[in-house]
Structure 1
Amino acid sequence: MTTSSYAPRFDIRVAGLTMAAELAEQVLSMTVETSLDLAGSFGFVLRNPDNALLDSPLLDPGKTVEIHLGYGNDLKPAFLGEIAAVEPSFPQSGPPTVQVSGYDKSYRMRRGQPEPTEYTFMNDSLVAARIAVENGLVPVVDPTPGVKEKIIQVESDMAFLKDRARRYHFDVYVEWDRMYFRFPRPQAATHVLEWGRNLSSFTPRVSASAAAGLQIVRGYNQELAQTVQGLALAADLGVDQLTERLGSSAADLLVGMARKGIRRHSLENPLDAKVLAQSLLAELLDGMYEGSGSCVGVPGLSAGQFIEIRGVGKRFSGTYRLRKVTHRIDEGGFMTDFSISQGGHSSLLGMLRKQIVEEPPPNRTEPFYGVVLGVVEDNHEVTAVPPKAPLGRVKVSFPGLSDRFTGGWAPCARPMAGKDMGFYWLPEPGDQVLVAFDQGDLGKPYVIGGLWNADQPPPATNTDGSNSTRVIKSRSGHTITFDDAKAGGEVVIRDGGRGSAITLNAADGSLTISAAGDLSLTAGGDVTLTAAGRTTTITAGSSVELAAAQGATKLVVSETDVNIT
Structure 2
Amino acid sequence: MTRPLTSRPRLRLDLDGAEMDGALAARLSCAVLRQALGAPAALELDFADPDWSDILRTGTTVRAAIDGRAVFAGAITGMREESSASGRSLRVVARDPLIRLARRQTLRALADVSAPDVAAQLAADIGLGSRSLETTPKRLLVLQHEQTDLDFLADLCGQSGLYPIVRGDLLLLMSLAGDGEGATHLELGQSLLSCDIAVAADRWLPGGVIHSRDPLSLKSRINRSSLARQDRVVDLHDPGGDPPGGERMLLNRHLGTDAEAEAMLQATLDRAAAEAAVAEGLAEGDPDLVPGRAVTIEGVLPPLAGGYVITRALHRLSATEGYVTEFSTEAPRLPRPARTPLVAVGRVTDDGDPEKLGRCRVELPDFGGLDAGWMACLSAGAGRRRGIVALPQKGDDVLVLFPEGDPGRGIVLGGLFGTHALPSEARREPHGIVLRTEGGQILDLSGGGGALKVATSGGSLLEMGPGQVRLAAAADLVIEAPRRTITIRAAEINFERE
Tell me if TM exceeds 0.5: yes
Q: What is the Cα deviation at residue 523 of structure 1? A: 5.2
Decide whether aligned partners of structure 1 residues 539 and 211 sit closer, same or farther in structure 2, where only a CA change above 3 A counts: closer
TM-score where L is the length of structure 2: 0.68
Is 2:295 the partner of 1:284? no
* CA shift digits 1:513-536 (9 cap, x unpaired): 369xxx999559xx9x9xxxxxxx
Q: What is the Cα deviation at residue 274 of structure 1? A: 2.1
TM-score where L is the length of structure 1: 0.61
Measure the CA separation in 1 of the matches of 2:326 and 2:479.
99
Q: What is the Cα deviation at residue 52 of structure 1? A: 2.7
2:182 to 185, 188, 194: 188
Report the AA paired with residue 84 of structure 1.
T
Q: What is the Cα deviation at residue 66 of structure 1? A: 0.4
Decide whether aligned partners of structure 1 residues 236 and 39 sit closer, same or farther in structure 2, where only a CA change above 3 A counts: closer
Q: What is the Cα deviation at residue 253 of structure 1? A: 1.7
Measure the CA separation in 2 of the matches of 1:193 and 1:150.
45
In structure 1, the partner of 2:436 is: 482
In structure 2, the partner of 1:83 is: 76
Is 2:183 the partner of 1:232? no
Decide whether aligned partners of structure 1 residues 174 and 11 sit closer, same or farther in structure 2, where only a CA change above 3 A counts: same
| Secondary structure, aligned partner of 1:484 | coil
Q: What is the Cα deviation at residue 273 of structure 1? A: 1.4
Measure the CA separation in 1 of the matches of 2:209 and 2:313.
34
Report the AA paired with residue 203 of structure 1.
D
Q: What is the Cα deviation at residue 171 of structure 1? A: 2.6
In structure 2, the partner of 1:33 is: 34
Q: What is the Cα deviation at residue 13 of structure 1? A: 0.5
| Secondary structure, aligned partner of 1:287 | helix
Measure the CA separation in 2 of the matches of 1:116 and 1:321.
35
| Secondary structure, aligned partner of 1:315 | coil
CA contact (8 A) 1:129 1:141 kept: no
Report the AA paired with residue 455 of structure 2.
T
Measure the CA separation in 1 of the matches of 2:285 and 2:213.
52
In structure 1, the partner of 2:319 is: 331
Decide whether aligned partners of structure 1 residues 326 and 491 sit closer, same or farther in structure 2, where only a CA change above 3 A counts: same
Report the AA paired with residue 248 of structure 2.
R
Q: What is the Cα deviation at residue 12 of structure 1? A: 0.5
| Secondary structure, aligned partner of 1:337 | strand
In structure 1, the partner of 2:45 is: 44
Decide whether aligned partners of structure 1 residues 227 and 300 sit closer, same or farther in structure 2, where only a CA change above 3 A counts: closer
In structure 1, the partner of 2:442 is: 491
CA contact (8 A) 1:290 1:339 kept: no
Measure the CA separation in 2 of the matches of 1:132 and 1:457.
49
In structure 1, the partner of 2:420 is: none
Measure the CA separation in 1 of the matches of 2:255 and 2:95.
35
Measure the CA separation in 2 of the matches of 1:259 and 1:276.
12
Correspondences of 1:143-292 after superposition (within 5 Å)? 144=135, 146-154=137-145, 155-183=147-175, 184-189=178-183, 191-234=184-227, 245-246=237-238, 248-249=240-241, 252-253=242-243, 257-261=246-250, 266-292=254-280
Decide whether aligned partners of structure 1 residues 41 and 454 sit closer, same or farther in structure 2, where only a CA change above 3 A counts: farther
Measure the CA separation in 2 of the matches of 1:121 and 1:319.
37
Report the AA paired with residue 59 of structure 1.
L
In structure 1, the partner of 2:62 is: 65
Report the AA paired with residue 202 of structure 2.
S
Correspondences of 1:317-396 after superposition (within 5 Å)? 317-341=305-329, 347=331, 369-370=340-341
Q: What is the Cα deviation at residue 221 of structure 1? A: 2.9
In structure 1, the partner of 2:98 is: 106
| Secondary structure, aligned partner of 2:268 | helix
CA contact (8 A) 1:327 1:334 kept: no
Q: What is the Cα deviation at residue 168 of structure 1? A: 2.3
Decide whether aligned partners of structure 1 residues 457 and 232 sit closer, same or farther in structure 2, where only a CA change above 3 A counts: farther
Decide whether aligned partners of structure 1 residues 491 and 137 sit closer, same or farther in structure 2, where only a CA change above 3 A counts: same
Measure the CA separation in 2 of the matches of 1:25 and 1:540.
106
Measure the CA separation in 1 of the matches of 2:454 and 2:227.
66
Measure the CA separation in 1 of the matches of 2:254 and 2:342.
12
Measure the CA separation in 1 of the matches of 2:129 and 2:229.
34
* CA shift digits 1:354-408 (9 cap, x unpaired): 79x97xxxxxxxxx84269xxxxxxxxxxxxxxxxxxxxxxxxxxxxxxxxxxxx
CA contact (8 A) 1:125 1:143 kept: no
Decide whether aligned partners of structure 1 residues 300 and 224 sit closer, same or farther in structure 2, where only a CA change above 3 A counts: closer
Report the AA paired with residue 29 of structure 1.
C
Measure the CA separation in 1 of the matches of 2:18 and 2:156.
38
Q: CA RMSD in A?
A: 4.4
Decide whether aligned partners of structure 1 residues 221 and 548 sit closer, same or farther in structure 2, where only a CA change above 3 A counts: closer
Decide whether aligned partners of structure 1 residues 547 and 151 sit closer, same or farther in structure 2, where only a CA change above 3 A counts: closer
CA contact (8 A) 1:292 1:337 kept: no
Q: What is the Cα deviation at residue 129 of structure 1? A: 1.2
Decide whether aligned partners of structure 1 residues 262 and 14 sit closer, same or farther in structure 2, where only a CA change above 3 A counts: farther
Decide whether aligned partners of structure 1 residues 212 and 512 sit closer, same or farther in structure 2, where only a CA change above 3 A counts: same
In structure 1, the partner of 2:129 is: 138
Decide whether aligned partners of structure 1 residues 30 and 523 sit closer, same or farther in structure 2, where only a CA change above 3 A counts: closer
| Secondary structure, aligned partner of 1:327 | strand
Report the AA paired with residue 221 of structure 2.
V
| Secondary structure, aligned partner of 2:66 | strand
Count of aligned pairs: 404
Measure the CA separation in 1 of the matches of 2:395 and 2:284.
73
| Mean CA deviation greater in 145-154 or 205-214 | 145-154
Q: What is the Cα deviation at residue 204 of structure 1? A: 0.9
Where has structure 1 moved over 6 Å in runs of 4 or more? 537-542, 546-549
CA contact (8 A) 1:502 1:511 kept: no
* CA shift digits 1:289-317 (9 cap, x unpaired): 11211122223432222222221132222
Q: What is the Cα deviation at residue 483 of structure 1? A: 3.7
Of structures 1 and 2, the larger Rg is shown by 1
* CA shift digits 1:425-480 (9 cap, x unpaired): xxxxxxxxxxxxxxxxxxxxxxxx945778577625679x688xx9x9xxxxxx96
Measure the CA separation in 2 of the matches of 1:538 and 1:301.
89
Q: What is the Cα deviation at residue 333 of structure 1? A: 3.8
Decide whether aligned partners of structure 1 residues 225 and 512 sit closer, same or farther in structure 2, where only a CA change above 3 A counts: same
Report the AA paired with residue 52 of structure 2.
A
Measure the CA separation in 1 of the matches of 2:29 and 2:272.
42
Mark the runs of 5 or more structure 2 residues left unpaired by the alignment: 1-5, 344-376, 397-414, 416-422, 424-432, 446-451, 481-485
CA contact (8 A) 2:208 2:247 kept: yes
The structure showing larger relative contact order (alpha-carbon pairs under 8 Å, at least 6 residues apart) is 2
